[in-house]
């Protein structure tokens, strides 16, 4: 896994890089289906872009995808998250997702909140409040 980040600058290895990313993604899904969790994804070396891809997928319950709740749980365990990941997590706070997904998203954001991320946390809380006030929300 660690070597993948070093392959990106070399165009000669692009196809190999894409292939290895695909294998890692499949390995994480397989781990989840075999054990009920996706611990590989919480490793610091595991490419965060793969986890973002699971959050951005429209087909959550496919056998080739990781459930949003598991992806969010994995992200909560990571020590640092990219801003793009934080934004993808905050999108799961809307009423179009189940309350379980919304709760996992809130937990993931909370576990990564710092004084520097006050504005992001404030935006997430306002979104959550709006969801809770929404009559059509399943919360």
DSSP string, 82-113: -HHHHHHHHGGGSTTS-HHHHHHHHHHHHHT-
The pLDDT tens digits for 92-101 are: 998 889 999 9
Q: At what angle do helices 48-56 and 83-90 cross, to 10 degrees?
A: 20
Q: 138 pLDDT band (50/70/90 cuts)?
A: low
The full set of domain ranges for the chain reads 4-133
Pick the closest to residue 17 from 39, 1, 34, 35 (CA basis): 1
Between 63 and 81, the more confident residue is 81
What Cα–Cα distance (Å) separates residue 9 from each residue in 14, 15, 40, 51, 89? 9, 12, 25, 21, 28
pLDDT value, residue 130: 84
Residue that the structure tokens 């292939």 belong to: 19
The tokens for 93 are: 């706070």
The pLDDT tens digits for 3-50 are: 665 556 667 777 888 888 999 999 999 999 999 999 999 998 899 999
């Amino acid at each position: 896994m660690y070597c993948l980040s070093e392959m990106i600058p070399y165009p000669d290895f692009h196809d190999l890089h894409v292939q290895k990313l695909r294998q890692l993604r499949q390995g994480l899904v397989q781990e989840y289906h075999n054990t009920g969790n996706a611990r590989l994804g919480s490793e610091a070396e595991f490419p965060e872009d793969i986890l973002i891809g699971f959050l951005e997928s429209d087909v959550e319950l496919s056998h080739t995808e990781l459930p949003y709740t598991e992806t969010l749980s994995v992200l909560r365990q990571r020590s640092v998250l990219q801003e793009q990941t934080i934004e993808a997590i905050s999108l799961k706070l809307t009423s179009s997702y189940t309350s379980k997904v919304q709760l996992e998203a809130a937990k993931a954001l909370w576990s990564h909140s710092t004084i520097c991320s006050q504005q992001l946390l404030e935006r997430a809380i306002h979104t959550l409040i709006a969801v809770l006030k929404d009559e059509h929300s399943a919360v």
